[in-house]
Structure 1
Amino acid sequence: MDWTHYRFRSLWSLPAPPDAVYDVLQRPEDYPRWWPQVREVTRLDDTTGTVRIRSFLPYDMIFTARGIRRDPVAGILEIALSGDIEGSARWAVTPRGTGSLARYDQVVDVTKPLLRRFAVPGRPLFRANHRLMMRAGRRGLARHLEHGRQAV
């Protein structure tokens, strides 16, 4: 087993139609407004940016995200990741009841030296850290979407 390889899946049930959710998710430079652990996003060009995240554990992860698929009809956003993590991430937004289901899949290898050094003993903490970050992201996005509907 490669202790620095991770597969994550998160399912977010959200109180807004798929097009509204997709519209927010396709603007990563706005993520810090509603996702507390996404500390900074700097756009480099139309498809690429740098991202700095920090969840509960006291370390930052910095990586470059490059868009590789953007399909609003299918509700798909896909990026390639390089830097402290290498791999890919994908959002798939579909209708669910009166709202949406946003499915996030991430497959990465950790390259950050500190996290590689503690790969075996730290793995349960790193996974829990990711779960906390994703939980906060879902709550933040749900609030953001609620406020957006109230402003209309």
Structure 2
Amino acid sequence: MSQRLFDLSSTWHLPATPTQVWTIIADVDMSWPSWWPHCSFAAPLVRTEPAGNNQEDILKATTAYLNFKASLGYTLTISIHPTKIVTPSEIEFDAGGHLEGTGKVTLTPEANGIATRMDIEWKVNPTQRWMSLLTPIAAPAFRAAHALMMRQGERGLVKALVNGMPPPSS
């Protein structure tokens, strides 16, 4: 196994219950581009035949291809494929594309259950040659760009939760 070049973590504090947050982040139609600035679909969702009709089975049968435009001017295309789901508290996934590895999102109740702490972990290697070559000197800039992108995602999700984002279609 190759060395993990980026072990990134973020913590978001959200003004909603874990179930309300889960409804948006674990949407089977992958609504992230509707609330996350600089995030867009790179391709349509790919869905194999799910093992069942519940949300967990549908998510595990889905791969999303997303573009994330970094503040440094580059765009990363990342595939996200859920591998483990514990409703409404945890999603683990495989990541591919320009960053290859794994990720995990964990939701924990805060403020007596009316708020949520969302911990996001990425353990990824860049697959683009230019990024791999620059990593020894540019890693701090890549980490800063990642942190900014994550803060934008947090603000976008807070806004969606506060404005009562409509429930996703399923």
TM-score, reference length from structure 1:
0.90
Q: Does 1:134 align with 2:135?
A: no
Bigger shift: residues 45-54 or 9-18 = 45-54
CA distance in 2, matches of 1:8, 1:51: 18
1:32 maps to amino acid: P
Give % identity. Answer: 26
- 1:3-152 mapped onto 2 (5 Å cutoff): 5-27=5-27, 29-40=30-41, 42-45=44-47, 46-73=61-88, 75-97=89-111, 98-148=114-164
Q: Cα distance 1:149–1:82, how it changes in 2: closer, same or farther (>3 A)?
A: closer
Contact 1:86 1:111 in 2 (8 A): yes
CA distance in 2, matches of 1:4, 1:117: 14
Contact 1:48 1:64 in 2 (8 A): yes
1:74-105 CA distances to partner (integer Å, 9 max, x unpaired)?
x0011101121111111101100021111101
Contact 2:39 2:69 in 1 (8 A): yes
CA distance in 2, matches of 1:65, 1:85: 10
CA distance in 2, matches of 1:10, 1:132: 10
SS at match of 1:148: coil
Aligned length: 149
Q: Cα distance 1:4–1:58, how it changes in 2: closer, same or farther (>3 A)?
A: farther
Structure 1 residues without counterparts, runs of 5 or longer: none
SS at match of 1:63: strand
Cα offset, 1:113, TM superposition: 1.5
Structure 2 residues without counterparts, runs of 5 or longer: 48-60
CA distance in 2, matches of 1:149, 1:66: 24
Bigger shift: residues 42-51 or 88-97 = 42-51
